[in-house]
Amino acid sequence: MKNTMKNLLALSLTAVFLFTFSCKPKAEQEMKNTSNDVNITSQKNSGTIQFSEKVQRNFMEYLEIYMSLKDALVESDFNLTKNASTSGFNRISGISTTNINDSGKDLLVNLKTKLESLSQAKNIENQRSVFEDVSELTLLISKNITLSSEIYVQYCPMAFNNKGAKWLSFDKKVMNPYFGDVMLHCGSVIEEF
């Protein structure tokens, strides 16, 4: 009985150790675009996407909503996530695409579509899945506007069965929206701008 208890204790400690340290970031080359069906050409920082100052201000308002959305997923709160995604959809829908080039329009239309899908998701797992695409689109747009706040791109290598996923944060501290309190701090900052 005593040996069984020791073995169980050793096994438990090993499991805790592996669980704790298995969430280390993978090498940069392993981090690839994690979006499922976001059809955007590689225009990151290419200078081909242009947004007016008004659109940029409106997008900064959306970024505040995005952060609330991320926080709702960190809390694993289905209803709060639904409400925040509806607010995000309304904010992006209110942005006029007049005087925005086709690349910028495509990004905004895709983001609006994903936010609508997120607001209609049936459970928290579906919300998290769509949030991955919302995050990728939000990141693409964020890299093409003048930001009034520093943005941290965070990455969890274990999200979606070790496929990995990114999200944005105004805070350097990692709070994982893909796992919530199950693995709250799993991930790392991979970029800031």
Give the pTM: 0.79
Domain-located, residue 34:
no
Burial of 16 (0-12, 13-18, 19+ CB in 10 A): exposed
Residue 83 sits in a domain whose CATH number is: 1.20.120
pLDDT in tens, the chain (193 residues): 555 444 444 444 333 333 444 555 443 333 444 344 444 433 444 456 889 999 999 999 999 999 999 999 999 999 999 999 999 999 999 999 888 999 999 999 999 999 999 999 999 999 999 999 999 999 999 999 999 889 999 999 999 999 999 999 999 999 999 999 899 999 999 999 9
Domain that holds residue 187: 52-192
Q: Nearest-CA neighbor of 173 among 161, 182, 184?
A: 184
Q: Nearest-CA neighbor of 173 among 182, 163, 162, 186?
A: 186
Q: How many domains does the chain have?
A: 1
Domain-located, residue 26:
no
Domain-located, residue 91:
yes
